[in-house]
Amino acid sequence: MTSDALLSVRGLTTLFDRSDGQAAAVNDVSFDVRAGETLCLVGESGSGKSLTALSILRIVPSPGRIAAGELIFKGLDLLRLSDDEMQLVRGSEIGLVFQEPMSALNPVFTIGAQIIETLLVHGRAGTKRDARAQAIDLLRRVRMPEPERQVDEYAHQLSGGLRQRAMIALAIACSPSLLIADEPTTALDVTIQAQVLQLLREMRDRFGLGLLLITHDLGVVAETADQVAVMYAGRIVEQAPAAGLFRDPRHPYTRGLLASVPSGQPGARLNAIPGTVPALADPPPGCPFSPRCPDRFDPCNKAVPALSQAGLSRTVRCYLHSAAAEPPAEAGGSIPTGPAR
């Protein structure tokens, strides 16, 4: 763990036991989140991003289980806490903004009642009256219109954008040090997406939060991230400062993701990465990206490459950047880099 890390994830591995074997949904994942900074975890659906977040909070659905690793948060290993101790961390020290607020918010309680309960359970308010006043103030902070009225509304009475604002208010109710936002702009129109992202940035800057933002949208990454970790098939394949990653992507998968961003030119052909993410229960031999990689060479299909340093503050899991293998002269750079939004 680096000395300034708020959260340090080391070697996190989350397995799902199946009748035909084990599937490593999160496989030897390591990264740091610092106070006041945003780390974006990016990748295709099924790459393990959301399960990484659930693992950090220790709410992995059955039959999944955390099999290895360390989750050092403010000097404590979350994996060593009791269930009761971990329950106090959730919501109080670590807030979570879910992908679908309509399913995350309780439909039979008002927005205000859910925020009030959180404040009372974590001892942040002495009375319901005080908690209600704090709930209204929280809704005002997230720019909920007419917070005195909206506090008594149910989730189904709010638009998608307002539900997401209510979800953010609930997540920051107890002044957490770390905020995890899992695809917070999914199913929102472009204008509302921009408002939600701006709100998350404001909350980060105002309260000095560490923000772990999970997304598949590279436009969101370009607008929001300080650091980026690219995931593929349960593993992180590249980590770098956001500006450096967009300027000079090193892993073929990262280059493919950037190339797939629409150029905005009328009639321009969309680039796509061929193939699909492999089944986690039956991964291909060697590098999991090798069946889709235009730069594959021996030993890509024999062993999974280790993370290698590829410049200042950058690591890449690829034999193109590994001293363990000498790539052919023509390898690298065959996937064009698309424009960053």
Q: How many domains does the chain have?
A: 1
Residue 185 lies in a domain: no
Residue 334 lies in a domain: no
Residue 160 lies in a domain: yes
Give the Cα separation of 137 and 225 in Å (integer).
28
Query: What per-residue confidence (pLDDT) applies to 335?
Result: 43
Strand order across the beta sheet in which 64-73 lies = 21-34, 5-18, 64-73, 76-77
Q: Return averaged pLDDT per consecutive 10 residues of the chain, 341 residues in all.
A: 83 91 93 97 92 96 95 96 94 89 91 96 93 96 95 95 93 94 86 90 93 93 95 96 95 94 80 89 91 92 90 90 63 43 36
Query: What per-residue confidence (pLDDT) applies to 326?
Result: 60
Angle at 54 between CA 221 and CA 12, to 5 degrees: 85
Residue 138 lies in a domain: yes
Residue 64 lies in a domain: no
The amino acid present at 20, given as its one-letter code, is D
Q: Write out the residue range of the structural domain in which residue 141 sits.
A: 97-173
Query: What per-residue confidence (pLDDT) applies to 338?
Result: 41
Tokens at residue 112, please? 């205000």
Residue 211 lies in a domain: no
Residue 15 lies in a domain: no
Residue 146 lies in a domain: yes
